């Protein structure tokens, strides 16, 4: 073998190096400009705006997301809004989301991570985006931070099966990077509709990104956690919303668990019907 081509041991050493560095996904050898590649012919919109009636009758089939190579992010966000607002049940929303091709995260993810738990629960918890374990299994919060979340819930007498859990972004960003503002904007109509359809009494935003994106907060999570906010659905329903620390952050900063404990106690009190606004 030539000096330039690594042998088996050399290739294994390169792979080990990548794994150590956190590279766990091979996307492609070359960068692609998908917008240029798909410039001609223009991609067909998933749903044309003028074709959308205000609300479909109950027995009409859900709108279909047509397969697309790539859609400009602004157009994808418009399509996401139209598709999401037509979903009449959580099952339908999941089906629509599974067929949606407007978010590029879908192409690198193994699974759609839609939700776990009981959709009729009074409590809905929303995180930022799935990680590697969630992507593999197709359920939110099943990895290390999910196990901590389970213990936090158990500490206030709740089982994960009796709450409803989802994420702002339902596909894993490659390498667990933070979802881009565009990816969040495209996925936001779906989580907004998911909250609207689940109709929880209490919405718990896990971590700064979920709190900022769902509650339109500008301040960081250490300032907003423990405070009750009002989340207003598109249909005008008010839901009490609480921001708290993300379990992944608590795994890195265990001393901060005392703050999360206060937040979860505030949730417990609210569930028990006690009035008050947290701290
Ligand atoms: N972190 C999140 O925000 N969501 C998950 O589902 C897992 C980890």
Can you list the domains of the chain with their CATH numbers? 69-271 (3.40.470.10)
Q: What is the pLDDT of residues 192-218, one digit of tens each?
A: 999 999 999 999 999 999 999 999 999
Separation of CA 263 and ligand 1 centre (Å): 18
Q: What is the pLDDT of residues 117-150, one digit of tens each?
A: 999 999 999 999 999 999 999 999 999 999 999 9
Ligand 1 pocket, 130 CB below 6 A?
A: yes
Can you name the residues that pair with 239 across neighbouring β-strands? 231
What's the CA gap between 147 and 250, in Å, rounded?
A: 12
Separation of CA 129 and ligand 1 centre (Å): 5
Whether the Cβ atoms of residue 71 and residue 42 lie closer than 8 Å to each other: no
Instruction: Note the pTM of the prediction, 2 decimals.
Output: 0.80
Residue to mutate, 248, 251, 252, ligand 1, most ligand atoms under 8 Å from C-beta:
248
What end-to-end distance do the CA atoms of the chain give, in Å?
68
Ligand 1 pocket, 79 CB below 6 A?
A: no
Tokens encoding 185: 């904007």
């Amino acid at each position: 073998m030539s000096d330039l081509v690594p042998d088996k041991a050399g290739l294994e050493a390169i792979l080990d190096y990548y794994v150590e560095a956190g590279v766990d996904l091979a996307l492609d050898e070359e960068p692609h400009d998908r917008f240029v590649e798909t410039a001609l012919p223009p991609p067909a919109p998933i749903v044309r705006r003028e074709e959308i009636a205000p609300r479909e009758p109950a027995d009409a089939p859900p709108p279909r997301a047509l397969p697309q190579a790539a859609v400009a992010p602004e157009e994808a966000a418009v399509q996401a809004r139209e598709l999401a607002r037509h979903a009449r049940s959580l099952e339908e929303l999941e089906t629509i989301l599974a067929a949606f091709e407007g978010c590029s995260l879908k192409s690198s993810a193994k699974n759609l991570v839609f939700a776990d738990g009981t959709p009729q629960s009074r409590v809905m918890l929303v995180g930022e985006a799935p990680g590697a374990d969630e992507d593999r299994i197709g359920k939110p919060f099943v990895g290390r931070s999910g196990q901590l979340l389970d213990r936090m819930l158990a500490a206030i007498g709740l089982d994960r099966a009796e709450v409803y859990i989802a994420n702002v972004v339902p596909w894993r960003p490659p390498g667990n990077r933070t979802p881009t503002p565009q990816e969040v904007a495209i996925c936001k109509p779906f989580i907004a509709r998911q909250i609207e359809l689940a109709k929880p009494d209490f919405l718990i935003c896990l971590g700064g990104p979920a709190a900022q994106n769902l509650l339109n907060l500008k301040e960081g999570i250490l300032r907003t956690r423990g405070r009750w906010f009002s989340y207003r659905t598109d249909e005008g329903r008010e839901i009490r919303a609480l921001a708290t620390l993300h379990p992944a952050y608590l795994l890195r900063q265990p001393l901060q668990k005392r703050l999360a404990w206060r937040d979860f106690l505030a949730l417990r009190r609210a569930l028990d019907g006690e009035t008050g606004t947290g701290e």
